[in-house]
């Protein structure tokens, strides 16, 4: 028989263990929200469908270059009644044409390769913006997550400080009744206490709204505020600019223009189409059964003159290439400036963190000293309020500075995606 006390302790331990497991299971981290947003994004689904369509275009291109089989029928009857009707010398009275036709266009191997490359580049033209859109979603969700967690830290910090201040209020109230402190000093402390209480309510409201915004960005309807894991972001390694997905679009555009330029020349090459038919072609005048048989032939088209349109099209491609270079050069300059600016900001924020922590140490020491003196009536309430206000302001600065650092890391990591 297990003693009741031991049984109770074991049951309590089991319940606490289960509670801890549930709490951990409900905790949300950055990856959870990012994956949720990526899964629910209609834009990424759109890009996925475009890739599916591109695969179909590739299959259609290859199918179109093969033999094309068609069933063709063209029948007519022009009756002549009492000598009135269409001229039989033209109409033959009646015509029956029915055949199975097989045709195929003959193009050069280089032309075929150029068209295949064009379809493949269309795929790349879809993948590049899809990856950039994915980075945009990731950056926005992480940025919002950091904001939510920063507000949560402020809520916890203000809540802890308010608990201490409420304890101090009880002591101060007793000392005021005994005449150690004036009534006005007690009221001044209560004003600070109420201000912190109002601020806590405001921060809690901002936290809940920010959490709802995070759910909104992820495409889910949920008003529950689950526990959040610390956003331990690490600075990723920046790739060489030419390997970045943001630069890749300029490479793809250049290849597309080169292929389109070649396609202009291929369009002006002679076009040859061969065909074969098997069927009946008869006027029904003499032995129509014997008018059944094959028919072979070819069509040849040779461009001679079109008013120099070929040269004009080449000039258009050259202008587009020049525009592409302008955008590429401008992006390269902006990219370097932006990365350098973010790195400098991050360095400043990290350097400031040490100064703020040092200031908190001094402010904390002063508040602790004043708190002990307050209990014995050896410090003015005004001095204690001033010390407490400085500590609250400095700790709040540290929280904001810490999460500004993570937001800057998030912005730098945005540019770290390789092709």
Q: What is the rounded distance in angstroms from the CA atom of residue 394 to the CA atom of residue 405?
A: 16
| Domain of 335, in residue numbers | 27-65+108-268+307-414
The verdict on 366 and 296 lying in the same domain is: no
The verdict on 219 and 89 lying in the same domain is: no
Domain boundary residue among 302, 319, 351? Answer: 302
147 half-sphere exposure, CB direction, 13 A CA radius: 15
1 found inside a domain: no
Please give the pLDDT value at position 80: 76
Of the chain, the percentage scoring pLDDT greater than 90 comes to 47
What is the biggest distance separating any 2 CA atoms in the chain, rounded to whole angstroms? 137
Q: What is the rounded distance in angstroms from the CA atom of residue 79 to the CA atom of residue 95?
A: 11
Digit-coded pLDDT (tens) for 345-361: 999 999 999 899 999 99
Backbone angles phi, psi at 220, to 5 degrees: -125, 150
Digit-coded pLDDT (tens) for 324-348: 999 999 999 999 999 999 999 999 9
What is this structure's pTM?
0.81
Q: What is the DSSP letter of 242?
A: G
Q: What is the rounded distance in angstroms from the CA atom of residue 22 to the CA atom of residue 343?
A: 40
390 found inside a domain: yes
Q: What is the CATH number of the domain that holds 76?
A: 2.20.200
The verdict on 133 and 255 lying in the same domain is: yes
4 found inside a domain: no
Of the chain, the percentage scoring pLDDT greater than 70 comes to 92
Token pair belonging to 284:
């029904």
Q: Does the structure show a pLDDT above 60 at 10?
A: no
The verdict on 347 and 213 lying in the same domain is: yes
The verdict on 76 and 173 lying in the same domain is: no
Q: What is the rounded distance in angstroms from the CA atom of residue 220 to the CA atom of residue 213?
A: 10
21 found inside a domain: no
- In the numeric block, the tokens 């044409």 are attached to 97
Q: What is the CATH number of the domain that holds 192?
A: 1.20.1600.10
The verdict on 81 and 220 lying in the same domain is: no
Q: What is the DSSP letter of 80?
A: -
20 found inside a domain: no
419 found inside a domain: no
The verdict on 119 and 246 lying in the same domain is: yes
19 found inside a domain: no
Q: What is the rounded distance in angstroms from the CA atom of residue 413 to the CA atom of residue 268?
A: 48
Please give the pLDDT value at position 72: 84
Q: What is the rounded distance in angstroms from the CA atom of residue 230 to the CA atom of residue 27?
A: 10
Domain boundary residue among 302, 321, 355? Answer: 302
The verdict on 98 and 162 lying in the same domain is: no
Digit-coded pLDDT (tens) for 133-146: 999 999 999 999 99
Radius of gyration of the chain, Cα coordinates, nearest whole angstrom: 40
- In the numeric block, the tokens 């094959």 are attached to 294
The verdict on 88 and 218 lying in the same domain is: no
Digit-coded pLDDT (tens) for 119-168: 888 999 999 999 999 999 999 999 999 999 999 999 998 898 888 888 88
Token pair belonging to 356:
């703020």
The verdict on 148 and 76 lying in the same domain is: no
The verdict on 214 and 322 lying in the same domain is: yes
Tally of structural domains, the chain: 2
Angle 266-272-274 (CA atoms, 0-180°, nearest 5)? 145
Q: Does the structure show a pLDDT above 80 at 93?
A: no
Q: What is the rounded distance in angstroms from the CA atom of residue 419 to the CA atom of residue 409?
A: 20
The verdict on 100 and 173 lying in the same domain is: no
Domain boundary residue among 258, 285, 302? Answer: 302
Using DSSP, state whether 300 is helix, strand or coil: strand
């Amino acid at each position: 028989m297990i003693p009741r006390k031991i049984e109770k302790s074991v049951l309590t331990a089991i319940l606490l263990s289960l509670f801890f497991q549930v709490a951990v299971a409900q905790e949300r981290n950055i990856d959870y929200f990012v994956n949720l947003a990526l899964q629910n994004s209609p834009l990424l689904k759109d890009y996925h469908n475009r890739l599916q369509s591109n695969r179909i275009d590739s299959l259609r291109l290859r199918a179109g270059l093969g033999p094309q089989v068609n069933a063709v029928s063209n029948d007519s009857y022009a009756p002549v009644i009492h000598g009135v009707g269409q001229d039989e010398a033209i109409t033959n009275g009646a015509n029956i044409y029915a055949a199975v036709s097989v045709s195929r266009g003959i193009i050069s191997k280089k032309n075929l390769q150029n068209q295949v490359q064009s379809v493949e580049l269309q795929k790349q033209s879809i993948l590049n913006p899809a990856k950039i859109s994915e980075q945009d979603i990731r950056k926005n969700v992480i940025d919002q997550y950091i904001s939510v967690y920063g507000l949560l830290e402020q809520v916890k910090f203000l809540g802890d400080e308010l608990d201490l201040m409420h304890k101090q209020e009880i002591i101060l109230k007793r000392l005021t009744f005994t005449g150690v402190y004036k009534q006005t000093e007690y009221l001044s402390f209560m004003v600070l206490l109420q201000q912190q209480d109002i601020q806590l309510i405001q921060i809690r409201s901002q936290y809940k709204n920010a959490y709802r915004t995070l759910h909104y960005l992820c495409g889910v309807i949920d008003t529950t505020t689950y526990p959040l894991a610390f956003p331990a972001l690490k600075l990723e390694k920046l790739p060489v600019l030419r390997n970045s997905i943001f630069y890749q679009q300029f490479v793809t555009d250049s290849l597309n223009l080169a292929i389109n330029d070649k396609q202009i020349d291929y369009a002006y090459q002679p076009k040859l189409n061969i065909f074969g038919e098997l069927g009946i072609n008869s006027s029904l005048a003499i032995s129509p059964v014997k008018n059944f048989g094959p028919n072979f032939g070819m069509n040849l088209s040779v461009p001679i003159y079109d008013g120099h349109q070929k040269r004009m099209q080449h000039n258009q491609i050259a202008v587009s290439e020049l525009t592409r270079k302008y955008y590429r050069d401008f992006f390269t300059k902006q990219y370097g400036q932006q990365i350098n600016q973010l790195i400098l900001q991050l360095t400043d924020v990290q350097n400031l963190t040490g100064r703020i922590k040092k200031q908190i140490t001094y402010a904390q020491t002063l508040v602790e000293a004043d708190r002990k003196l307050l209990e014995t009536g050896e410090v003015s309430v005004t001095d204690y309020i001033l010390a407490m206000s400085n500590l609250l302001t400095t700790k709040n600065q540290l929280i904001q500075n810490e999460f500004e650092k993570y937001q800057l890391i998030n912005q730098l990591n945005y540019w770290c995606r390789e092709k």
